[in-house]
Amino acid sequence: MGCSMKVSLFITCLSDAIYPRVGEAMVRLLARYGVMVEFPSVQTCCGQPAFNSGYWKEARVTARTIIESFEDCDFVISPSGSCTGMIHHYPKLFEEDPVMHEKALKLQSKSYEFSQFLVNVLGVTDVGATFAHKVTYHPSCHGSRLLGVKEEPLALINHVKGLEFVPLPFAEDCCGFGGTFAVKMPEISGAMVTEKSDHVKETEAEVLVGLDMACLLNIAGNLRYRNEPVRVMHLAELLYEGVKQA
Amino acid sequence: MSGGGHGHSNGATVKERADIALNNDFLRKAVKFTTERLKGGKLKATDEHGNWEEWRERGKQIRLHTVAHLDYYLNQFVDNARANGVHVHFADTAEEAVHISLSIAERKKAKTVVKSKSMVTEELHLNHALESIGVDPIETDLGEYIIQLAGETPSHIIIPAIHKNRYQIADLLSVDAGETLEPDTQVLAGYVRRKLRTKFLEADIGMTGCNFAIAETGSMVLFENEGNARMVTTVPKTQITLMGMERIIPSWADLEVMATLLPRSATGQKLTVYMSGITGPRRSEDADGPDEMHIIIVDNGRSLQLGDPEFQELLNCIRCGACLNACPVYRHIGGHAYGGTYSGPIGAVLKPSLQKNVAEWDDIANASSLCGACYEACPVKIPLHDMLIYLRRRKIEQGHGDKVEAAGMKGFAAIMSKSGRFKTVLKLGKLGQKLVARNGEIRIKVGPLKGWNSYRVTPSLPKKSFRDGWGTLEAELRHGLQEIAPEARARMEQIVKDRAKGGGHGHGHG
């Protein structure tokens, strides 16, 4: 066992600034399996707001910070399917720059969303957690559709003791976040998130869990606006809380 | 200007039109009801059929191949169709297509034209043109008949009157009938069927669209459920078929794949009630069919996609409408909000692409959360969610972006280019939010938070960001860290080894 595996954390700007508790839960959970992540502090944002709005020159500036942050590690893990998905766009973003293009492909091949890494790399589906609550799950679009992360979170949820899982009706429907979409088209986005919260309410779940804080910021914000007492958590938070309780 | 796209809803921008739709409960309920039914039907039908991903891939490959060799297959189709006795015409623009159609109608001294459902004739605004020379166009597809009565345009590629409920439809048809009709589907359809019987018999020309054109025999194929297209193509003496130049597929063997993909994706049917293959006009031994048959092949902006690597796949579209049914935005705002002939995700990309109208690109392309449901639903895997981003980018690159947004994005890039700057901005944010945050929440509805906070509460920034707390957390966890389990370590090493060897990029679906 000569070589040591270097696993780096891509925290994402949203979890860094607003939801440090998600990053902390994720890091603590991984440490239980002997994975001590590195945190390259030069990282900032994946650049998705600029990329999706069509400002690719600006997106390249921030994408470069991410590519440089993770050049010398073996695995990059992040608490967001969407930001990991953005890394999958980097090769296209740098298609006219052969050096950066190659680096982008390298980064893409070693980037994992949190549940993907836990299940497919570490081989863990039962973290030994207990969480005696009624829980529903919203599969975020980019994670589930573009990265294909579908089975992993469900496998993790199904192994939590005491947890009562209620499937979310129309779970695959977008919550209406869409980054700048929510700001540019607030009424359409508002209609979408309202419908999503309606479905969450229908399940009568105490907890809504997901894999992307942007979507959860949106849904939680709407539930709170409507005074619905649903607790909204990232899966890493739920698992870590459950491990502490076990 | 051609194809100006008169959506039914007023409003200059997609946002204004969407707001009108969002305040129309009838429309929202009707659209939601039917799209959910179609979406569910599609999932059921594709599950039952099995191996759906392989069928999609096969469909995509057929379309990619055909469009890559479109000149070859078009020539083959035209040669064969002419050999079958069809008059084939080419129209570069909408005006030309309209001109050719009207010339035929004038030469035939036509008084009425019966039409089966055709999106390309909608794109050309052909009904208006026919009316302008005194020819009465009669839509014979039930949904099209309804919206023609209402003086509207289709709001869905395959369900034109999706935005109306049966009570609204009963009202419209009652006026047409001059008597009160019950809002019962059987009664309403029965009325239209009886009424149209005589129209088929009287019509001088039958006009159709085309689902697929088969190059190897010069045939055209129509999928339909009501039998009206069969009437349109057998009763009148003259038939005019309008087809987009990309409707071609090479062979009948390819049609098998398309016939598997199209009805299932469109309505969840294994096959439509009627599928008609038409090879030329009536022969002497045929009992019925038109004596004269015309096919007008329409470009109208389609060829602009050829050779454009980001948009050529648009021509692969088989017009099934699955992306509309899957789209969460379409469900809330309906088709008219898109402001063009084609609506939903495909319309949002197709309209600006056919017109290459840079100034308007951003308008419709912004009405998407980029969730990718359209791509997932598409039977030929067109990456519409990526194309929407390309449209946005091209507008920016050509200097048509919003100035305030552009300044904002410059600022964003400047901040995010250095983690130190990002930290400073977070610090400033924490200071600034003291003015507006209460109990960890921000509820004010001003500036950029106006729209967002009209539906949500925003959490305030916590005291410490992740990076602020990292040093302490790291020190704590490093203390007494255990070894990675041997199997996990072996797997990690294997993954790294395979990566170096295979150069395989992306373990996910990326």
pLDDT tens by residue, B128-173: 999 999 999 999 999 999 999 999 999 999 999 999 999 999 999 9
**Average pLDDT over every residue of A70-78:** 97
Q: Residue A138: how many CB atoms within 10 A of its CB?
A: 24
B355-397 pLDDT per residue, tens: 887 777 778 899 999 999 999 999 999 999 999 999 999 999 9
Interface contact B15-A181, CB threshold 8 A: no
Domain region containing A155:
125-245
- Of residues B259 and B450, the one with the higher pLDDT is B259
Please, which residues have CB within 8 angstroms of residue A70's CB and are 6 or more apart in sequence? A8, A10, A40, A43, A76, A107, A110, A111
Flag whether A68 is in a domain.
yes
pLDDT of A56 over the 60 cut: yes
Average pLDDT over chain B reads: 94
Q: Are strands B219-224 and B212-214 parallel, antiparallel or unpaired?
A: antiparallel
Flag whether A66 is in a domain.
yes
**Average pLDDT over every residue of B176-196:** 96
A130 and A115 in one domain? no
Would an 8 Å CB–CB cutoff place B83 in contact with chain A?
A: no
Q: Return the percentage of chain B with pLDDT > 70, whole number.
A: 96
Q: Do residues B385 and B374 make contact, with C-beta atoms less than 8 angstroms apart? A: yes
Closest C-alpha to B466, from A164, A78, A134, A175: A78
pLDDT of B501 over the 60 cut: yes
Both structure tokens of B59:
């469909």
Q: Which residues pair with B208 in a beta bridge?
A: B241
Cα first-last separation, chain A: 32
Q: Report pLDDT for B506.
A: 54
Q: With cut-offs at 50, 70 and 90, classify the pLDDT of residue A1.
A: very low
**Average pLDDT over every residue of B297-313:** 97
Distance CA B307, CA B451 (A): 40
**Average pLDDT over every residue of A79-106:** 97
Q: Count of alpha carbons within 13 Å of B295, Cβ hemisphere only? A: 30
Would an 8 Å CB–CB cutoff place A171 in contact with chain B?
A: no
Flag whether A2 is in a domain.
no
Burial B143-157 (b: 16+ CB within 10 A, else e): bbbbbbbbebbbbbb
Q: Residue A190: how many CB atoms within 10 A of its CB?
A: 21
Distance CA A51, CA B396 (A): 11
pLDDT of B406 over the 90 cut: yes
Interface contact B510-A53, CB threshold 8 A: no
Interface contact A142-B372, CB threshold 8 A: yes
**Residue A191 maps to which CATH number?**
3.40.50
Among A101, A120, A139, the domain boundary falls at A120
Crossing angle, helix B14-22 and helix B25-49, to 10 degrees? 100
Contacts of A18 in chain B (CB under 8 A): 459, 461-462
Q: Are strands A231-234 and A207-210 parallel, antiparallel or unpaired?
A: parallel
Q: Nearest 5°: phi and psi at A194?
A: -65, -45
A234 and A135 in one domain? yes
A110 and A19 in one domain? yes
Distance CA B391, CA B364 (A): 10
Q: H/E element holding B498?
A: helix B486-502
Q: Which residues pair with B277 in a beta bridge?
A: B221
pLDDT of A2 over the 60 cut: no
Give the mutation candidate from A14, A42, A52, A232 for the B interface (greatest B CB count, under 10 A). A52
Give the mutation candidate from B456, B472, B484 for the A interface (greatest A CB count, under 10 A). B456
A179 and A74 in one domain? no
Q: Report pLDDT for B399.
A: 87
Q: Residue B68: how many CB atoms within 10 A of its CB?
A: 13
Both structure tokens of A165:
């899982």
Flag whether A80 is in a domain.
yes
| Order of strands across the sheet that contains B292-298 | B87-91, B292-298, B238-244, B205-208, B112-115, B136-139
Q: Which residues pair with B294 in a beta bridge?
A: B87, B240
Number of domains observed in the structure of chain A: 2
In total, chain A counts a number of residues equal to 246
Q: Return the percentage of chain B with pLDDT > 90, whole number.
A: 90
Both structure tokens of A220:
């939680």
Specify the 3-state DSSP secondary structure of B292.
strand
A15 and A29 in one domain? yes
The sign of the torsion formed by the CA atoms of A123, A126, A129, A134 equals positive
Would an 8 Å CB–CB cutoff place A132 in contact with chain B?
A: no
Both structure tokens of A238:
């739920």
Flag whether A39 is in a domain.
yes
Q: H/E element holding B196?
A: helix B185-202
Interface contact B328-A74, CB threshold 8 A: no
Closest C-alpha to B139, from B128, B127, B129: B127
Q: Are strands B292-298 and B87-91 parallel, antiparallel or unpaired?
A: parallel
Alpha-carbon distances, residue B50 vs B54, B61, B167, B206, B377 (angstroms): 9, 19, 38, 38, 15
Q: Report pLDDT for B374.
A: 98
pLDDT of B463 over the 80 cut: yes
Interface contact B416-A61, CB threshold 8 A: yes
A vs B, Cβ pairs < 8 A, gives 265
Of B368, B373, B488, the CB nearest to A122: B488
Both structure tokens of B354:
């056919």
Among A70, A103, A120, the domain boundary falls at A120
Interface contact A34-B451, CB threshold 8 A: no
Q: Which residues pair with A135 in a beta bridge?
A: A165, A207
Among A80, A95, A120, the domain boundary falls at A120
Q: How far does Cα B334 stand from its chain's mean position? A: 12
Give contacts of B 295-354 with A, CB under 8 A.
328-329, 332-333
Alpha-carbon distances, residue A38 vs A69, B10, B46 (angstroms): 11, 55, 45
Specify the 3-state DSSP secondary structure of A37.
coil
pLDDT of B4 over the 60 cut: no
Q: Residue B112: how many CB atoms within 10 A of its CB?
A: 17
A141 and A104 in one domain? no
Flag whether A1 is in a domain.
no
Closest C-alpha to B246, from B293, B305, B294, B206: B305
B211-240 pLDDT per residue, tens: 999 999 999 999 999 999 999 999 999 999
Distance from CA of B430 to the nearest CA of A (A): 10
Q: Do residues A94 and A60 make contact, with C-beta atoms less than 8 angstroms apart? A: yes
- Tell me, what DSSP letter sits at residue B52? H
A74 and A16 in one domain? yes
A80 and A139 in one domain? no
Please, which residues have CB within 8 angstroms of residue A183's CB and are 6 or more apart in sequence? B448, B451, B452
A241 and A201 in one domain? yes
Q: Nearest 5°: phi and psi at A72?
A: -110, 30
A137 and A112 in one domain? no
Both structure tokens of B367:
């009405």
B479-499 pLDDT per residue, tens: 989 999 999 999 999 999 999
Q: Report pLDDT for B2.
A: 33
A106 and A148 in one domain? no
Distance CA B488, CA B381 (A): 36
Q: Report pLDDT for B5.
A: 38
Give contacts of A 35-54 with B, CB under 8 A.
35-36, 39, 41-45, 47, 49-54
Contacts of A139 in chain B (CB under 8 A): none
Q: Nearest 5°: phi and psi at B90?
A: -110, 135
Distance CA B33, CA A32 (A): 48
A194 and A132 in one domain? yes
Q: How far does Cα B128 stand from its chain's mean position? A: 23
Flag whether A137 is in a domain.
yes
Distance CA A64, CA A51 (A): 13
Q: With cut-offs at 50, 70 and 90, classify the pLDDT of residue B12.
A: confident
Q: Do residues B143 and B234 make contact, with C-beta atoms less than 8 angstroms apart? A: no
Q: Residue A238: how many CB atoms within 10 A of its CB?
A: 25
Q: With cut-offs at 50, 70 and 90, classify the pLDDT of residue B446.
A: confident
- Our CA dihedral for B439, B443, B446, B448, rounded to 10 degrees, sits at 90
Q: What is the ipTM of this complex?
A: 0.96
**Average pLDDT over every residue of A95-109:** 97
pLDDT of B510 over the 90 cut: no
- What's the maximum distance between 2 C-alpha atoms anywhere in chain B? 93
Closest C-alpha to B14, from B479, B352, B390, B447: B352
Would an 8 Å CB–CB cutoff place B500 in contact with chain A?
A: no
Give contacts of B 9-38 with A, CB under 8 A.
15, 18-19, 22
Give contacts of A 177-216 with B, CB under 8 A.
177-179, 181-195
pLDDT of B99 over the 90 cut: yes
**Average pLDDT over every residue of B464-473:** 96
Per the listing, tokens 């509207």 go with B152
Per the listing, tokens 């009801």 go with B33
Both structure tokens of B479:
């203390």
Would an 8 Å CB–CB cutoff place B411 in contact with chain A?
A: no
Distance CA A109, CA B336 (A): 42
Alpha-carbon distances, residue B390 vs A142, B312, B383, B395, B495 (angstroms): 17, 12, 11, 9, 33
